[in-house]
Amino acid sequence: MAGWDTPYPHDFEWDYFPGPARVGLGVGSAPAAPQTPCLSTFTRCEFHNKVADFSARSRRPQIEVNGLSHREGSAFLESQRAVGHPLLNCELNPMFDIHHFVNGETFKGTSGRWGDVFNPNTGVVAARVQLATEAELDQAVQAALAAQLGWAAVNPQRRARVMFGFLSLLQARAGELAELISSEHGKVIADARGEIQRGLEVVEFACGIPHAQKGEYTEGAGPGIDVYSMRQPLGVVAGITPFNFPAMVSMWMFPVAIAVGNTFILKPSEKDPSPPVRLAELFMEAGAEVGLDLKGVLNVVHGDKTAVDAILDHPDIKAVSFVGSSDIAQYVYSRGAAQGKRVQAMGGAKNHGVILPDADMDQAVKDISGAAFGSAGERCMALPVAVPVGKKTADELRERMVAEIETLKVGISTDAAAQYGPVISKAHREKVAHYIQMGQDEGAELVVDGRGFKLQGYEEGFFIGPTLFDHVKTGMKTYHEEIFGPVLQLVRAESFEEALELPNKHQYGNGVAIFTQSGRAARDFAARVNVGMVGINVPIPVPVAYQTFGGWKRSGFGDTNQYGMEGVKFWTKVKTVTARWPDSALEGHADSSFIIPTFK
């Protein structure tokens, strides 16, 4: 087997590649670590009497054995032991399973249905995840119901202390979580760390829930009458999250929902299900640290449409938050609302970046490149459409963008030098490639074609190179639809008004950006554009955690946004109390109950 026939020297050293998907062998004077990871997972290996127990270093480590399957890896180890190779004692474990997390512990369902979880860098199956039945979802709901009244009775200060503890654990484990995200999603480690940071900022907001959940009070609304309101939890609520931000979007939902006194069912994407489970484990730790048993407060149920429909139809789930594609968002909103649930459903996007002639072109090119190609374009707040105003601006942007693309590095998710990694799956890579071909067929000019990109040693990975189109027209299907990949489309506009009209008329209205040095133009644009989130010289205008996130048109269904005070409103119901404590000795008994109360 190439690269493995030379014995390792006695000064062999470990070279640890972070992330559950990869633990490589140190090179020293030994042959280079193989470039293609595989399914083979070792829990304990001995090299010249050096023993490595991986369980302390990674939850799901792997040693790379030239892309072998588990069966081939086993045979390979036996052959190497037979010839005296220094792989003296290795235990080979099968592919691991990812289970539900219900009532504070791992819950092994009995559905018999599984989904494959891939390592996008290599294109091989790294794990399998259980897919819940309707009955298994109900078991999670029953656990949440049993916990809800007790959790809601915990005073707001103690609930906040849980959030503070959870925040501390997130900060301490940010590296581990980033590696976990990276191993299943494929985004580079730095990007995954950014995801964790934006998620934990919502937890920071939830730490202030004693203040955020306060009601209002009016003294003396009438003679001896006071009026006050209180925000009370809904009960058992649920969140359905997408693959592109397995941790961040989960933390947009459950920290605020739980902090106000609800219990939560989280149904993450089955494509990268491990990070939400880890979040639930850390949340349990946070409760234990302040002396609270949080069993049933946060439950994670994996699944496909069966689980989604079970959530939407379950009579004990009172509210559902969703993030995903627009077609599914509309389905979730319609079906959930028909069952009497409160629903917020965030959909897709086709965000535009308008570049005025006075823009700082150096900064604009960097910003647009990162926003269009970062995370392989798998962001609902990516910037896949650039709208340069005027021919000179368009020609300059195109020339500079081509040069910028040539500097980009696409690599495996653990490559610190890579700007972005693979897309989530082979099917999604093929979908993006189909859109590129469609754009070419529609008559757009394909300036840079990323379909031929291959990463040496990772040829089966789900990689696609940065792609640039020019002279894209508004009637093209590729302009109308969300591609969700590393594809940037240039749509040229002759004037400010024409540029403004593009996002205003598009079916999506999630985010938009304008690049200019004119305060007047930026102010006018922000006031008139028909989009939910606006960036002024900011390419990805995701609001901070104490503001709120939400798109317009087909980018958002429902009338309440994610997180911030809008999140508090969504996850609570308002009760208003009008109180009077009459003294009959002083006031007598006025017979006024047959007329509507009025105050003079």
Lowest mean pLDDT among 182-191, 514-523, 583-592: 583-592
Range of the domain at 213: 98-295+567-575
Q: Residue 599: pLDDT above 70?
A: no
Higher pLDDT, 48 or 459: 459
User: Is residue 123 a contact partner of residue 426, using CB atoms and an 8 Å limit?
Assistant: yes
Q: Is residue 593 part of a domain?
A: no
Total structural domains within the chain: 3
Give residue 81's pLDDT.
Answer: 57
Give residue 584's pLDDT.
Answer: 67
Instruction: State the average pLDDT over residues 456-466.
Output: 96
Q: Dihedrals φ, ψ of 436, to 5°?
A: -65, -45
Strand duo 385-388 + 352-355: pairing:
parallel
Q: Residue 414: pLDDT above 60?
A: yes
Q: Are residues 366 and 420 in the same domain?
A: yes
Q: 145, 352, 292: which is closest to 233 by C-alpha? A: 145
Q: Are residues 76 and 122 in the same domain?
A: no
Q: Which residues contact 213 (CB under 8 A, 6 or more apart)?
A: 156, 231, 259, 260, 568, 572
Give residue 592's pLDDT.
Answer: 59
Give residue 583's pLDDT.
Answer: 75
Q: Are residues 365 and 492 in the same domain?
A: yes
Instruction: State the average pLDDT over residues 362-379.
Output: 97
Instruction: State the average pLDDT over residues 560-586.
Output: 91
User: Is residue 380 a contact partner of residue 357, using CB atoms and an 8 Å limit?
Assistant: no
Q: Is residue 338 part of a domain?
A: no
Give residue 593's pLDDT.
Answer: 65
Give the active site residue among 38, 45, 90, 380.
Answer: 380
User: Is residue 528 a contact partner of residue 500, using CB atoms and an 8 Å limit?
Assistant: yes
Instruction: State the average pLDDT over residues 32-48.
Output: 33
Q: Are residues 137 and 58 in the same domain?
A: no
Q: Are residues 414 and 289 in the same domain?
A: no
CATH of the domain at 482: 3.40.309.10
Edge to edge, the sheet with strand 96-98 lists 96-98, 124-130, 114-119
Q: Is residue 357 part of a domain?
A: yes
Q: Are residues 192 and 52 in the same domain?
A: no
Give residue 357's pLDDT.
Answer: 98
Final residue of a structural domain among 94, 119, 153 = 94
CATH of the domain at 243: 3.40.605.10
Q: Which residues contact 381 (CB under 8 A, 6 or more apart)?
A: 349, 351, 371, 510, 511, 533, 540, 541, 542
Q: Is residue 41 part of a domain?
A: yes
Higher pLDDT, 600 or 272: 272
Q: Are residues 286 and 156 in the same domain?
A: yes
Instruction: State the average pLDDT over residues 521-526.
Output: 98
Q: Residue 6: pLDDT above 70?
A: no
Q: Is residue 347 part of a domain?
A: no
| Catalytic residue list contains 380 | yes
Q: What is the Cα gyration radius of the chain?
A: 27
**What residues does 352 pair with on adjacent strands?**
385, 512
Q: Are residues 395 and 542 in the same domain?
A: yes
Give residue 39's pLDDT.
Answer: 27
207-228 residue pLDDT tens: 999 999 999 999 999 988 999 9
Q: Residue 187: pLDDT above 60?
A: yes
Q: What percent of the chain has pLDDT over 90?
A: 80
User: Is residue 175 a contact partner of residue 223, using CB atoms and an 8 Å limit?
Assistant: no
Give residue 75's pLDDT.
Answer: 58
Q: What gap in Å lies between CA 248 and CA 174, rounded to an integer?
A: 12
Q: In a 3-state reduction of DSSP, which class is residue 184?
A: helix
Measuring CA to CA, how many Å separate 120 from each of 11, 116, 159, 175, 460? 33, 12, 38, 19, 9
Tell the residue number behind the tokens 């280079």, with chain if given. 32
44-89 residue pLDDT tens: 333 333 333 333 223 333 333 434 444 455 555 566 656 655 443 4
Q: Is residue 316 part of a domain?
A: no
